[in-house]
Structure 1
Amino acid sequence: MAVVSWKEICLLTGLVVGCYWNSLFCGFVFDDVSAILDNKDLRPTTPLKNLFLNDFWGTPMSEERSHKSYRPLTVLTFRLNYLFSELSSSSYHLLNVVLHAVVCVLFLHFCRLLLDRSTSLIAALLFAVHPIHTEAVTGVVGRAELLSSIFLLAAFLAYTKSKGADHSIVWTPIISTVFLVAVATLCKEQGITVIGICCIYEVFVAQGFTLPMLIDTLLQVLRGKDGFPYAVLQTLLKLIVLIISTLLLVIVRVQVIQSQLPVFTRFDNPAAVSSTPTRQLTFNYLLPVNAWLLLNPSELCCDWTMGTIPLVESLLDPRNLATVVFYAMLSLLAYHSLWYGHSSSKIVMMALSLIVLPFIPASNLLFPVGFVVAERVLYVPSMGFCVLVAHGFKLLSQRGGLKKTSWLLMGVLLTTHAVKTFNRNWDWESEYMLFTSALKVNRNNAKLWNNVGHALENQNSYERALRYFLQATRVQPDDIGAHMNVGRTYKNLNKSREAEDAYLIAKSLMPQIIPGKKYATRVAPNHLNVYINLANLIRANDSRLEEADQLYRQAISMRPDFKQAYISRGELLLKMNKPSEAKDAYLRALELDHTNADLWYNLAIVNIEMKDPSEALRNFNRALDLNPRHKLALFNSALLMQESGVPENSLILKA
């Protein structure tokens, strides 16, 4: 294996910086908002242990609304960013660019195991500039892919050193491999798939087996004609260690998510809730869609959910032809790599393992995931794609009259990809730019219309936002969230009647109670806010307070752990002069979240209404223990002390 030179490292690093330097001017957009801006796990005041108890978005793994994405080491790097620069987005983007450069160098090391010096460099250069990576590199949440890829490649490179000069097993690299796999998995779940890549490398590359040879060896052993050769026994032992390690990691992973898959709505992944054969036809069609994005990354989109890709509902759908062609090509490549023992087949074998295995967890074929297509999950599979392209380029350039033409084509490909990547980065500068660029690719996704509306709403441009929200309801009439957005915007425009009508439409789309029938249904937690929003709107009218209370109680009946419903109901009950019931509502909310300073403050206000100043003072102090700068608690506590004649020394210390 040729050693990677400093010149090659500098070339790759320079190319990455050239393609991605403008990403440093981008802000936090899309999923970054939830993972960075709204994630309390990044704050120094949050205990470090919370990173290992919560999911990627800061939600406790035990809660149903958790996405079950357990990536504590990735969140730890976000926390380090916050420690140095708080919420300055440029530092987060800079670290992503650095990590991408590291992945490119490690990938070059990987390619050197299979390809010659120039071909491996071509593969690494193509990987460095491929536009499909903009979501993983320029989107801050894509760091999960970057970190996982670093440890995935490091684990594989460590494993390649597990064979001694006398063909004995060297255990230190294997132990390192298992450790690095575990670390990769703590960065993102797909890191565990490198175990499969190591197994394929061991059998078909290191040991040089072809599928016919492997079958013949197994048959001879089963017939008792011969025992396993020593080299084969060594291989089996290594594979057993890898497989057992994988099983242990899977068991731990299942325990972490408490044996529950996350809850996704049909808007996130319409095919997941479709019947046979629509579900199977659609999920299989998504494979050639992803392959086409690698081949032709000209139209990239940040969100492929909802109606972006219409369901494949019939065998007569012409899109099934793309599925057939994809499987035919995959089968031909697999046949070439499994049946022949020359170097080309080994290259194809390893390329296919990189394409297929890391993609399987995101393919929807084994279990549903929360998206239809996500460009950032193609980060590792694109490595295998780049190996295939570079290998094809080498074969083409070796043909006499095609050498200059092939080099010219490769130069054009690298240049156009680099320019596309650089320009695509600007789309991530702001949410408005990102989602409007997505609408140029796809106008059938209501989520995109909603997100442009949200971006305009954040700029207080409510009239323009309303137009986008209304278009979302036209694109997807049964989208509860879109109607809720319309209602909220009408409220911001002081159009209460129109707001109520929009909320009522959203409420009518919620699962309805069927008299005389019992059934269970799963409701997206954010959709339950329609009851809160509607109740908050109508309780402005004193004659409709009971109606508002009924809505709060309905939300609680649908989800007994709905904290906000208890809080809002407590405020209403206080307004209705029912302090005892308001106290019960706040106590129930505190059972769900006892670290909320506002809740202790609200409870103290109820205590004052119930003529219990000593209990009120205790609850004000609890609020101040949690948030020493809680202005309302400070003011009311001081006022209460003054009225009751209690010394204010303790309060002064808190202030």
Structure 2
Amino acid sequence: MMKFWKSPAFWTATIAILAYWDDEALNGGWVYDDAGSVIKNVVVNGQVPWKEAFTRDYWGSPMAEEQSHKSFRPITTLSLKANYVHGMKYAEKDAKYPPTYWFHVVNVLLHGLVTALITRATSFVFVNDVVSQLIVGFLFGLHPVHAEVVSNITSRGEMLMSIFHLIAFLSFASCIQKEKGGEAQQFGISSFLGIYIIPWVFMTLSLFSKEQGATTLITLVLYDFLQHHGKVLVLLDKLKAKDKDAWTFTFRTIFLAIQTVIVVLWRYILNGETSPDFIVEQNPAGFAEDRFTRWFSITWVYCLYIRDSIYPMYLSPDWSGLSIDLIEKVSDPRAFIVMCLWYFSGVSFWSMVVGGDSFTKKENLTQKVWDADAMKITNMAVWAFTFSPFLLSSNILVVVGLMKADRVIYLPLFGFCILENLLLKKFLMKDAQTMPMVMQTKEHWKFAAAYFLIIFQLSFFCARTHERNLSWSDSLKLWSAAYAVNPRSHHTMYNFGYELSIKRRFSEAEYVMRPIGNARVQGPSNTFVYAMVLFNLGKCDDADRLLDIAFDVIDEKRAAGGVRDTESSLARTESNLLVARAHCEKDFYETGKILYDAVQTDPSNEYAIGLATEQMKKIERYEKLHAQGT
């Protein structure tokens, strides 16, 4: 047995961990959704018993409630709960919540484990090829697109889902490999456990870590089919010939399909009688009514994911709303790129039906650069390792609550890494295994080119990953970087403007938030922050005008009703708007009256209560001094 420190998985995992091991990042603040998933989550912070993780969604709301996000991830929630309890031991005295250090440490270690499992899984694609394992492992572990998952505490579910997904695959693939290699003399209890039970258990754990884990067994079936049959016509011929392996595969597929349906149906029932309340703003492409616009725009997002995989310079935590233009006409230049992707996918899919060598003479097949084995690995990378884990984020089966997000291609990037390694092997590393001191042949030069190319790419990935890792350590850095990449998103404008206002950079905040200051553009919540910015710039007339519009919008929302516009949420927004109005009120007593109204509107608004209390004390002191003066 290979010593662990000689294993490729050990080294790829170590490098992946070191890439994220930065003191500033490990001690970073709570950013983006961390407040909702950790600090305010009643399961994580201990306001309710830990068992409530099995009846509440990822954000702490009961699954039965209409307002629930329906993201049921108890495994991830409990891991955050354990982190929270452990972290409080290291919190400063009287601290309300733990430091982020141990949360980040766990995330980084989980990424290292995923990288190790990816490296091991590669050995079942490129058999007995240590170089391929290292290349795929390093590409995956160091890719900058993963920073949103590794550096963001909230995204831990992606890694837990991937770990269980990969363990299921390794159990399945190793047992199948032993059977095909003759190591297993007969189908026994160990084979049954490794092929049917362990994958099913870990698929369930994967699903309850993140919803995308539901496709775990689909990945297994696609791998099994492509590795041992390759084409539908070949499988049908084997079935007609009553080939034992073909019939065993068919039975295995049916069995795994039934297991998937059982778990997915169970998960669906847990949603209760309501579905997630997603809105067009979150995913304009997915919600587009015109079919042409919908499918071309959705596929264009896939093209952007491919771009990010190759050239990860346009990464952002938010792509909602107007961030990505929809494709509404065939004359749009992007439509051609979309059709090219469809063509490639169609060719790949058709090759799994009849074979890629349909129009090639059999005797010439081995002379082709892209032979049957290369086509098999290509299809495996595309369908088993990219499409399958991406399926539930693709907007194909269901419309999801996001248009584009770096985190959803965490595990699917495995397929991209396989494809890149295959290209290197076929075009640059085909006839050489090592780089000699003296270049004697063209193959040696090609190998050297591949070597320096991968070193350059990994160096670039390291630098970019470090940059993204630091961005996720601080809210202002995160949204500043996001705004630089995607200044069209209203959500990004709000968050960047808010962070600037906290730093009292009001002029910059006003410029950033100006397009969303009107409540009819993005809702009244944005108007509150923008009005406070205007107050600090001495522009109360503009603030009052926008506040009037915001109050009208609240009245309209209250009359219309809806899952999102609950009375409690509208009351909080209205209370905040009253606070903003109070700041711009010049009359001493009128300010107190408005703040009193703010508290009456939402008695749970601690911000309004604090300001109202302070104002009442000022009035009392003023009246006392006035009485003494008279």
TM-score range, shorter chain: 0.7 to 0.9
Match of 1:302 among 311, 317, 328: 317
Residue equivalent to 2:328: 313
Letter in 1 for 2:375: S
Q: Which string of whole-angstrom CA distances, capped at 9 and with x for unpartnered residues, describes residues 401-457 of structure 1? A: 422112211111111111111122111121101001111112111211110122234
- The equivalent position to 2:500 in structure 1, one of 437, 442, 456, is 456
Q: Distance in 1 between matches of 2:605 and 2:86?
A: 27
Residue 103 of structure 1 is matched in structure 2 by: 114
Deviation at 1:519, TM superposition (A): 8.5
Indicate the SS of the match to 1:451: helix
Aligned to 1:651: none
Say if 1:181 and 1:194, in contact at 8 Å, map to a contact too: yes
Q: Paired residue for 2:424?
A: 393
Q: Give the deviation of 1:485 after TM superposition.
A: 2.9
* Structure-2 residue corresponding to 1:421: 465
Paired position in structure 2 for 1:27: 29
Provide the C-alpha distance between the structure 2 equivalents of 1:547 and 1:215, rounded to a whole number of angstroms.
Answer: 77
- CA spacing shift, 1:496–1:41, aligned 2, 3 Å: farther
- Residue of 197, 200, 221 corresponding to 1:178: 200
The 1:468/1:37 distance shift into structure 2, 3 A limit, reads: farther
* Amino acid aligned to 1:449: M
For 2:626, the equivalent position in structure 1 comes to none
Superposed CA offset, 1:15-49 (max 9, x none): 11331112313222111222122222212342012
AA aligned opposite 2:145: I
Are 2:346 and 1:344 aligned? no
Highest RCO, 1 vs 2 (Cα 8 Å, sep ≥ 6): 2
Change in CA separation of 1:531 and 1:141 when aligned onto 2, cut-off 3 Å: same
CA distance in 1, matches of 2:215, 2:48: 32
**8 Å contact 1:4–1:108 — kept in the other structure?**
no
Question: Which range is displaced more, 323-332 or 85-94?
Answer: 323-332
Task: Give the match for residue 152 of structure 1.
Answer: 165
CA-based RMSD of the aligned residues comes to: 3.5
User: In 1, are the aligned partners of 2:149 and 2:407 still within 8 Å (CA)?
Assistant: yes
Q: 1:437 matched to which residue of 2?
A: 481
Contact residue 479 and residue 492 of structure 2 kept, 8 A: yes
Cα pair 1:263 1:524 within 8 Å, conserved: no
> What amino acid is aligned across from residue 348 of structure 1 in structure 2?
T
Please report the TM-score for the alignment, with normalisation by the length of structure 1.
Answer: 0.76
Aligned-pair distance for 1:102? 0.6
Given residue 424 of structure 1, which amino acid in structure 2 is its aligned partner?
R
> Which of 475-484 and 258-267 deviates more?
475-484
Which whole-Å CA distance do the structure 2 matches of 1:50 and 1:463 have between them? 45
Pair 1:27–1:18, CA change in 2 (3 A)? same
Partner of 1:127 in structure 2? 140
Partner of 1:504: 548
User: Which amino acid letter does the alignment assign opposite residue 430 of structure 2?
Assistant: Q
- Partner of 2:69 in structure 1? 67
Aligned in 2, Cα 1:233/1:507: closer, same or farther, shift over 3 Å? farther
Q: Which residue of 2 aligns with 1:212?
A: 233
Name 1:11's counterpart in structure 2. 11
1:359 aligns with 2:378: no
Q: State the match for 2:368 in structure 1.
A: none
1:578 alignment partner in structure 2: none
Identify if the C-alpha distance between structure 1 residues 272 and 14 changes in structure 2 by more than 3 Å, giving closer, same or farther: closer
Comparing 171-180 and 398-407, the one that deviates more: 398-407
CA distance in 2, matches of 1:522, 1:570: 19
2:396, 2:375 → 1: CA distance? Answer: 27
Shift of 1:4: 7.0
Aligned ranges for residues 314-333 of structure 1 at < 5 Å?
314-333=329-348
Q: Deviations over 1:237-273 (max 9, x none)?
A: 2222211111111111111111533112322222344
Q: 1:446 to 1:570 in 2, by over 3 A?
A: closer
| Conserved? CA contact 2:381–2:419, under 8 Å | yes
**1:231–1:3 CA distance, 2 compared to 1 (3 A):** farther
Post-superposition offset of 1:233? 3.0
Identity %: 24
Counterpart of 2:16 in structure 1: which amino acid?
V
Q: 1:114 aligns with which of 110, 113, 125?
A: 125
The alignment partner of 2:323 has SS state of coil
1:182-193 correspondence to structure 2 within 5 Å: 182-193=204-215
The residue aligned with 1:639 is none
Q: What is the aligned partner in structure 1 of residue 255 from structure 2?
A: 241
In the alignment, structure 1 residue 94 sits paired with structure 2 residue 105? yes
Per-residue CA deviations over 1:114-168 (Å, capped at 9, x if unaligned) read 1111112111111111111111111111211111111100011111244442463
Whole-Å separation in 2 of the counterparts to 1:360 and 1:528: 39
Equivalent-residue separation in structure 1 for 2:548 and 2:397 (angstroms): 38
Partner letter of residue 263 of structure 1? D
CA shift, 1:186, in A, is: 0.9
**Residue 284 of structure 1 corresponds to which residue in structure 2?**
299
Which 10-residue stretch deviates more, 143-152 or 165-174? 165-174
Instruction: Give the counterpart letter for 2:203 in structure 1.
Output: V
CA distance in 1, matches of 2:557, 2:31: 38
Segment of structure 1 superposing worse, 408-417 or 393-402: 393-402
CA gap of 1:543–1:118, structure 2 versus 1, over 3 A, is closer
Displacement of 1:570: 8.0
Preserved CA contact (<8 Å) 1:127 1:382 = yes
By how many angstroms is 1:597 displaced? 14
C-alpha distance in 2 between matches for 1:538 and 1:89: 36
Aligned equivalents of 2:210 and 2:308: distance in 1? Answer: 22
Deviations 1:628-654 (A, max 9, x none): xxxxxxxxxxxxxxxxxxxxxxxxxxx
Q: CA deviation at 1:185?
A: 0.8
Change (3 A) 1:119 1:9: closer
Give distance in 2, aligned partners of 1:7 and 1:478: 53
Q: Which residues of structure 1 form unaligned runs of 5+?
A: 221-225, 553-564, 572-595, 599-655
For 1:458 and 1:12, the matched residues in 2 are separated by 40
C-alpha distance in 2, partners of 1:450/1:92? 27
Aligned to 1:247, what secondary structure does the other structure show? helix
Partner of 2:216: 194
Partner Cα distance (1:191, 1:16) in 2: 23
Which ranges of structure 2 fall in alignment gaps of 5 or more residues?
A: 89-97, 357-370, 432-442, 607-630
The partner residue of 2:80 within 75, 78, 81 is: 78
Do the aligned partners of 1:306 and 1:446 also contact (CA within 8 Å) in 2?
Answer: yes
Q: CA separation in 2, counterparts of 1:441 and 1:264?
A: 25
Paired AA for residue 48 in structure 2: T
Aligned residues: 549
1:108 deviation in Å?
1.0
TM-score normalized by the length of structure 2: 0.79
Q: Give the Cα separation in 1 of the matches to 2:505 and 2:605.
A: 32
Change (3 A) 1:271 1:529: farther
Question: What is the DSSP-based 3-state SS (H/G/I as helix, E as strand, rest coil) of the residue aligned with 1:187?
Answer: coil
Report if the CA contact (8 A) 1:129-1:418 is conserved. Answer: yes
Residue in 2 that maps onto 1:253: 267
CA distance in 1, matches of 2:208, 2:346: 33
The answer to whether the 8 Å contact 1:264/1:524 transfers is: no
In 2: Cα distance, 1:527 partner to 1:428 partner = 31
- 2:618 equivalent in structure 1: none
1:412 corresponds, among 452, 456, 464, to: 456
Q: Tell me, yes or no, if structure 1 residue 269 matches structure 2 residue 283.
A: yes
1:503-542 correspondence to structure 2 within 5 Å: 503-509=547-553, 512=556, 523-525=564-566, 526=569, 529-534=572-577
Following the alignment from structure 1 to structure 2, what is the Cα–Cα distance between the partners of residues 25 and 15?
20
Give 3-state SS (helix, strand or coil) of 1:160's partner.
Answer: helix
C-alpha spacing 1:351/1:167, structure 2 compared with 1 (3 Å): farther
